[in-house]
Amino acid sequence: MMKSLLIIALLMTLLGSDPAGACEPPVQRIFTLAESVPLECNASGARTTSLKIFDVELQERGFALARAKLRLRPTGATDITHFWNAHVVVGREQYALMNGDDICRDSPPATRVNFGYGELSDPQHQVAVYAYQGASPCVDGAIEVVAGSTLELWIEDDEPACRRKSIERISYYESVDFTRTYAWQTNMSPIVLKRTYMAEAGELLIMSVVEASPELNPNTVCGEEQATIAAELRVDEVIVDENLSLLPASQGQGHLVLDNEARQQVAEGFHLLELRVRRDFTTTPVRTGGCCGDAVLFVVKN
């Protein structure tokens, strides 16, 4: 009997479960942008010379995930297509990579997503979203972040036994390296996948973002885009969310940021989470990684 109890205790430790059921679910906070913010040109792309779209101080402590949902629109200040870039910094940052894509002059407003992850601690308990724009030539205020954009936070229970138990991630950059690229296929193929364990039945909130970069954008004229790319989330090989989008038109290399989100009730045990991607044209390669942005999947366990 004692041997069996020791084996069970060891398994629970390895799986990261909370046998006492004492861990609180992540606390959620939502902040909303009160006024629109015109972006500024930033040739260096440095954080220190980028605008702060959000800058909030948190009372909570612990590991936290932040998702910026930025509503972006062209202002009509110029006919030149501009790109935007943004990144999210959480406390003592552990994941804070940029992403961005192009916006045509006459495009309707579009919502784009990026994530940040880190530890809220003393004295590093701020969360900030930085953004800038660019083009050649670049005109300040060509793109603005529209009022109503949001910054969402999920903050783990900071008790020692509960840290790093409720929020997990898998990043292409972190799991491969920063030099190798992923080549998109014309069929849905996994770019990142992760196995996660649930100590008891509950809900998974799965969120992802991926930047796709065709070497030569097949869409070259604003308003006449036809080429599309797609991303989907799967849980245990079942599709739970899909996103099919047009590539924004540009000259030369193209970029598009695609995000997905799904809530899924699951049973106790292991579950396979996948982000799959597809290009719907064959005229040019599409890549992620290396020069061309990340693919990252986060899961919040409730």
Two tokens, residue 162: 């509960």
Instruction: Give the pTM.
Output: 0.90
User: Per DSSP, what are the bridge partners of residue 110?
Assistant: 72
What values do phi and psi take at 174, rounded to 5? -75, -30
pLDDT in tens, 21-63: 578 999 999 999 999 999 999 999 999 999 999 999 999 999 9
Two tokens, residue 78: 């110029």
Three-state DSSP at 128 gives strand
* Closest-CA residue to 143 (of 231, 209, 51): 51
pLDDT in tens, 242-299: 999 999 999 889 999 999 999 999 999 999 999 999 999 999 999 999 878 999 999 9
Burial 188-224 (b: 16+ CB within 10 A, else e): eeebbebebebbeeeebbbbbbbbbbbeebbbeebee
pLDDT in tens, 189-226: 999 999 999 999 999 999 999 999 999 999 999 999 99
The domains found in the chain, sorted by start residue, are 22-164 (2.60.120.40), 166-302 (2.60.120.760)
pLDDT in tens, 10-24: 444 444 444 435 789
As a whole number of angstroms, the distance between CA 142 and CA 281 comes to 30
As a whole number of angstroms, the distance between CA 257 and CA 68 comes to 13
Report, in angstroms and rounded to the nearest whole number, the Rg of the chain calculated over CA atoms. Answer: 20
Two tokens, residue 266: 């699951």
> Which amino acid makes up residue 173?
Y
As a whole number of angstroms, the distance between CA 115 and CA 158 comes to 20
